[in-house]
Amino acid sequence: MLGGTGAGTAAFHSVGKCMENVLGWSEADLLGRAVSSIVIDDAALTVVGAIVAGMRSYQRLGNGDATRVKKVQCALRRKDGGVTSSFPSLPHSE
């Protein structure tokens, strides 16, 4: 799950086991870390930022359940320095 106010502040707030299985990053490696540190594609990072900003606006307005899930499919940096070739989805709870 991601949090923040936009692309520049989007950070990991919870991390699933798949991030370690696929990318090599443990929960301890990613919690609180900027999403921009592992997202390769600037266009995808812009989309992530817009989703996070939308989530904040949605929550400020008190629009009920803010746990809707959004997914962005993009290349991600692995812990070993490589790049994913399967373009996994980066989940975001909104």
The CATH number that applies at residue 72 is 3.30.450
| Cross-strand pairs, 76 | 39
Tokens of 72: 């962005």
> Can you give the pTM of this predicted structure?
0.68
Whole-number CA gyration radius for the chain: 13
Model confidence band, residue 94 (pLDDT cutoffs 50, 70, 90): very low
Number of domains in the chain: 1
Domain around 26: 2-93
pLDDT digits (tens, 9 = 90+) for 27-76: 999 999 988 888 877 888 888 888 888 877 777 776 655 556 677 777 88
Element (H, E) at 11: strand 11-12
